[in-house]
Chain A
Amino acid sequence: MSTKATIDLPPKGGFSFDLCRRNDMLSKKGVSPPSYRKTGTTIVGIIFQDGVILGADTRATEGPIVCDKNCEKIHYMAPNIYCCGAGTAADTEAVTDMVSSQLQLHRYHIGRESRVVTALTLLKRHLFSYQGYVQAALVLGGVDVTGPHLHTIYPHGSTDTLPFATMGSGSLAAMSVFESKYREGLTKDEGITLVSEAICAGIFNDLGSGSNVDVCVITKGHKEYLRNHLLPNSDVYALKREYTFPKKTEVLLTKVTPLKEKVEIIEGGDAMEE
């Protein structure tokens, strides 16, 4: 008698290469795969005096087209941890959602506030196991018991711990602002100004970034999510007219004509009486 049952085990992890041959055959025949919706982005983070400030632009692109003018790139991970994502939109959303759920389960298990390194390790292990095919480049920031932390995570799974970080197509423009203006011990307002300047540099100098600036300030025990903190592109194309059209057609006369006669029902009628 054998206690061993043949269990169909799920694959242990890593990338499943089953469809690669088929994709290869299709592309040789001229059928190209659908293009990804990329966030083509500027995302930044800095460590300031009391914690971490994250910033992001709000443009999502599908090739040359802007498919979402005001998307949210700063994702929630834990009450004290937020993560900005650049790269393929689906990948950043899915991976941050997944790790956010894992963090919550972990919090129930340990009964304590999540730490930034936990999120970092979960994310990097996942991305590494997919060997770079999950194209998510992230800026992870938060404040936990050990202090403020800021990390960057690359699609292949490597991470850096930095005082200021930028990712995405607009990262060079934003980095030029940081390298010239960052210093340690910034106050909250100075930090928000610096982050906004860096994102604006990305918005105006990089074609993959645009629209508005989102900012998220995380300090010990408190967070502020400033959605659309700056709208530098709002009135750019507003047509300037010296005259205005009236908002709706002018009402001259109101008269109600009922289409059907109102029928008077008299009680105690004879017809139909039972």
Chain B
Amino acid sequence: MQFTDAKLLPDASSCSLDSERTLYPYVTGTSVVAFKYRDGILMAADMGGSYGSTLRYKTVERIKPIGQHSLLGASGEISDFQEILRYLDELILYDNMWDDGNSLGPKEVHNYLTRVMYNRRNKFNPLWNSLVLGGVKNGQKYLGMVSMIGVNFEDNHVATGFGNHLARPILRDEWNENLSFEDGVKLLEKCMRVLLYRDRSAVNKLQIAKITEEGATIFPPYSLKTFWGFEAYKNPTIGAEGSW
């Protein structure tokens, strides 16, 4: 038997046409930062969707509640994030249809996401995202991360993308188990401010979300105050005429 046209092959394992799989991301979101605090999980992400080096969309909600117990934040390709939300919608719907009083908690959703991401990567058609999954169920706080190749782990504080390099050092130093909500927000703002200064794809419009036993709250977007008034910025070459 001669297979002359690849398109006729039933697609068992990998997509034959390049146009049918993700090769590179197009519209991307930058870092997400999250950590556990006294009452649950706090998560923050800015609202920018960059199209390459253009800042195309400035009101992209990159944190969404999942079911009753979880929050999902994503960085990377926005369209893949929307696809993941559809998969999770279906998952939660089926779970609700059982109507058995049980609901999927963060650990279960995290496991589901890990399987999805890993299987897609095995087929060379990844969902180009780094996902942060946080939630509280029966008093147990849970915070985990899944990357686009299926690496998953659970920790007290996580960050995606640039947040790993810029926010994680601050969190490792200053996070503790019993942060109050106000302290937690201050710590998040500290991290997001550094990201705003030093990540080129960050925008000054961020959303903070929290999830506790009572449920998820996504706060309205706002901007951070920045400081540019260093003396050295005003006249940097004052002692060195001609340099820059």
Q: Check A59 for interface membership: any CB of B closer than 8 A.
A: no
When each residue 30-49 of chain B gets 1 if its CB lies under 8 Å from chain A and 0 otherwise, what string results?
A: 00000000000000000000
User: Which of chain A's residues has its CB closest to B235's CB?
Assistant: A161
The answer to whether A117 touches B231, judged by C-beta atoms less than 8 angstroms apart, is no
The answer to whether B230 touches A163, judged by C-beta atoms less than 8 angstroms apart, is yes
Task: Specify which of B170, B230, B243, B244 is in contact with A176 (CB 8 Å cutoff).
Answer: B170
Q: From residue B195, how far is it (CB to closest CB) to chain A in Å?
A: 9
Q: Check B190 for interface membership: any CB of A closer than 8 A.
A: yes
When each residue 143-174 of chain B gets 1 if its CB lies under 8 Å from chain A and 0 otherwise, what string results?
A: 00000000000000000001001111110110
Q: Check A63 for interface membership: any CB of B closer than 8 A.
A: no
Q: Check B197 for interface membership: any CB of A closer than 8 A.
A: yes
Interface residues on chain B, number (Cβ under 8 Å): 25
Question: Quick one: given A120-B243, A175-B198, are A204 and B172 in contact (CB under 8 Å)?
Answer: yes
Q: Considering the complex, which residues of chain B in the window 64-113 have a beta carbon less than 8 Å from any beta carbon of chain A?
A: none
Residues of chain B lying within 8 A (CB to CB) of residue A173: 165-166, 168-169
Residues of chain A lying within 8 A (CB to CB) of residue B191: 176
Q: Check B9 for interface membership: any CB of A closer than 8 A.
A: no
The answer to whether B232 touches A147, judged by C-beta atoms less than 8 angstroms apart, is no
Q: Check A159 for interface membership: any CB of B closer than 8 A.
A: yes
Considering the chains assembled together, what is the distance between the CA atoms of A172 and B162 in angstroms?
Answer: 9
The answer to whether A184 touches B230, judged by C-beta atoms less than 8 angstroms apart, is yes
The answer to whether B240 touches A47, judged by C-beta atoms less than 8 angstroms apart, is no
Q: Check B23 for interface membership: any CB of A closer than 8 A.
A: no
Q: Check B193 for interface membership: any CB of A closer than 8 A.
A: yes
Q: Check B233 for interface membership: any CB of A closer than 8 A.
A: yes
Q: From residue B188, how far is it (CB to closest CB) to chain A in Å?
A: 12
The answer to whether A161 touches B243, judged by C-beta atoms less than 8 angstroms apart, is yes
The answer to whether A146 touches B166, judged by C-beta atoms less than 8 angstroms apart, is no
Give the size range of A's interface with the partner. Answer: 20 to 34
Q: From residue B228, how far is it (CB to closest CB) to chain A in Å?
A: 11
Task: Specify which of B172, B193, B244 is in contact with A180 (CB 8 Å cutoff).
Answer: B193
The answer to whether B165 touches A172, judged by C-beta atoms less than 8 angstroms apart, is yes
Q: Check A233 for interface membership: any CB of B closer than 8 A.
A: no
The answer to whether B232 touches A180, judged by C-beta atoms less than 8 angstroms apart, is no
Q: From residue B243, how far is it (CB to closest CB) to chain A in Å?
A: 6
Task: Specify which of A116, A146, A176, A184 is in contact with B194 (CB 8 Å cutoff).
Answer: A176
The answer to whether B167 touches A161, judged by C-beta atoms less than 8 angstroms apart, is no
Considering the chains assembled together, what is the distance between the CA atoms of A197 and B230 in angstroms?
Answer: 21
Considering the chains assembled together, what is the distance between the CA atoms of A117 and B240 in angstroms?
Answer: 6
Q: Check B220 for interface membership: any CB of A closer than 8 A.
A: no
User: Which of chain A's residues has its CB closest to B243's CB?
Assistant: A117
Task: Specify which of A121, A177, A184 is in contact with B169 (CB 8 Å cutoff).
Answer: A177
User: Which of chain A's residues has its CB closest to B190's CB?
Assistant: A180
Residues of chain A lying within 8 A (CB to CB) of residue B10: none
Task: Specify which of B170, B194, B198, B237 is in contact with A161 (CB 8 Å cutoff).
Answer: B237
Q: Considering the complex, which residues of chain B in the window 192-236 have a beta carbon less than 8 Å from any beta carbon of chain A?
A: 193-194, 197-198, 230-233, 236
Q: From residue A43, how far is it (CB to closest CB) to chain B in Å?
A: 16
Q: Check A156 for interface membership: any CB of B closer than 8 A.
A: no
The answer to whether B166 touches A172, judged by C-beta atoms less than 8 angstroms apart, is yes
The answer to whether B231 touches A163, judged by C-beta atoms less than 8 angstroms apart, is yes
When each residue 105-144 of chain A gets 1 if its CB lies under 8 Å from chain B and 0 otherwise, what string results?
A: 0000000000111001100000000000000000000001
Q: From residue A81, how far is it (CB to closest CB) to chain B in Å?
A: 13
The answer to whether B173 touches A179, judged by C-beta atoms less than 8 angstroms apart, is no
Residues of chain A lying within 8 A (CB to CB) of residue B167: 176
Q: Check B239 for interface membership: any CB of A closer than 8 A.
A: yes
Residues of chain B lying within 8 A (CB to CB) of residue A176: 165-167, 169-170, 191, 194, 198
Considering the chains assembled together, what is the distance between the CA atoms of A112 and B173 in angstroms?
Answer: 45
Considering the chains assembled together, what is the distance between the CA atoms of A149 and B244 in angstroms?
Answer: 12
Considering the chains assembled together, what is the distance between the CA atoms of A80 and B137 in angstroms?
Answer: 60
The answer to whether B231 touches A146, judged by C-beta atoms less than 8 angstroms apart, is no
- Contacts A117-B240, A161-B237, A163-B230 given; 19 further ones with Cβ under 8 A? A116-B240, A120-B243, A146-B240, A147-B239, A149-B240, A159-B243, A159-B244, A161-B232, A161-B240, A172-B162, A173-B165, A175-B198, A176-B167, A179-B198, A180-B193, A184-B230, A197-B173, A201-B173, A205-B172
**21 CB-based A-B contacts, threshold 8 Å:** A47-B232, A116-B240, A117-B243, A120-B240, A146-B240, A149-B240, A151-B243, A159-B243, A160-B244, A162-B232, A162-B236, A163-B230, A173-B166, A175-B166, A175-B198, A176-B167, A176-B194, A177-B170, A180-B193, A205-B169, A205-B172
B: residues with CB less than 8 A from A are: 162, 165-170, 172-173, 190-191, 193-194, 197-198, 230-233, 236-237, 239-240, 243-244
